Amino acid sequence: MSTRSQSRWPIAGESTPELVLEPVSVEPNIKARVYVTLKRAIADMDIYSTQDNTWLDERLLAERLNVSRTPIREAIAMLEQQGFVKSIPRRGIIVLRKTKREIIEMIQVWAALEGMAARLISLNASRKEIDQLREIFEEFHEGHTPGDHLSDYSEANLRFHQTLIQMTGSQTLKQMTENIVLHVRGIRKITIGRDDRASQSIKDHLAIIDALEKRETELAEQLCRDHTLGLAGYVERHSEGIFD
């Protein structure tokens, strides 16, 4: 073998600058756990029901979670990259509310992804798996309508949309929709109780499930997409008091 060809291979003991490795930790990373906890807490905040800003205090968060401020800062940095919070110099950390246009655009993307989810479910899911979707709405009937139990229905509604994505088995779809759902759920929670939208919502859901059960792929995809786009249209027309 020539000297030239031998030089392409690293010699034992030499560093390999192209390969940057970090130590592997068997235990869950504290930063990751703090990030997940804060993200869930922020998603559960009802930030669109008030015009007041919501501020986070790094010191108080560290005390509440019983951790040092370092993983708090690292988690906040990750959340800031994803558009959940923003660090304001000399003021603190503010929880971000999306603009009307940002919310509409996110819902439009969500509609496209959920339409594809419905297509994949129609083509690949078993009847037993599809039955999971119908079971979510079993408790809502003539004597227990969505409008009478908005909080319960709001949770069932969210579970329906999350289950749709999970049933595809697509990690890509799951990752792409996760943050969108977290950003949009506050808007959906506020609007679901307006103009009898809850009653229409459950009709839409049951129509989607019916199409999936009958393997009407094109119809299921269209119904699912149109259902979510309906929220975008509603936000476009009726956003008073939410974004202003």
Give domain 100-237's CATH superfamily: GntR ligand-binding domain-like (1.20.120.530)
Q: Is 215 left (phi over 0), alpha (psi -120 to 50) or beta?
A: left
CATH 1.20.120.530 intervals, the chain: 100-237
CA distance 148 to 10: 70
What the block records as the tokens of 155 is: 């949770």
CA distance 42 to 182: 9
**Residue 239 predicted with pLDDT over 80:** no
CA distance 98 to 195: 23
pLDDT band at 244 (very low <50, low <70, confident <90, very high): low
- Which residues contact residue 65 at a Cβ distance below 8 angstroms, ignoring those fewer than 6 apart? 34, 37, 72
In this predicted structure, which of 1-10, 162-171, 172-181, 197-206 has the lowest mean pLDDT?
1-10
CA distance 111 to 190: 19
Q: What is the pLDDT of residue 7?
A: 43
- Which residues contact residue 119 at a Cβ distance below 8 angstroms, ignoring those fewer than 6 apart? 217, 220, 221
pLDDT band at 10 (very low <50, low <70, confident <90, very high): very low
pLDDT band at 229 (very low <50, low <70, confident <90, very high): very high
Q: What is the pTM of this model?
A: 0.76
pLDDT in tens, 68-90: 999 999 999 999 998 899 999 88
CATH 1.10.10.10 intervals, the chain: 30-95
Mean pLDDT of 33-58: 84
pLDDT in tens, 180-209: 888 888 788 778 778 788 888 989 999 999
Fold for domain 30-95?
Arc Repressor Mutant, subunit A (1.10.10)
Tell me how far CA of residue 168 lies from CA of 29, 51, 118, 120, 130, in angstroms: 29, 38, 8, 6, 11
pLDDT band at 2 (very low <50, low <70, confident <90, very high): very low
Mean pLDDT of 233-242: 82
In this predicted structure, which of 91-100, 141-150, 185-194 has the lowest mean pLDDT?
141-150
- Which residues contact residue 183 at a Cβ distance below 8 angstroms, ignoring those fewer than 6 apart? 83, 84, 98, 103, 106
pLDDT band at 149 (very low <50, low <70, confident <90, very high): low
**Residue 142 predicted with pLDDT over 60:** no
Phi, psi of 144 (to 5 degrees): -150, 70
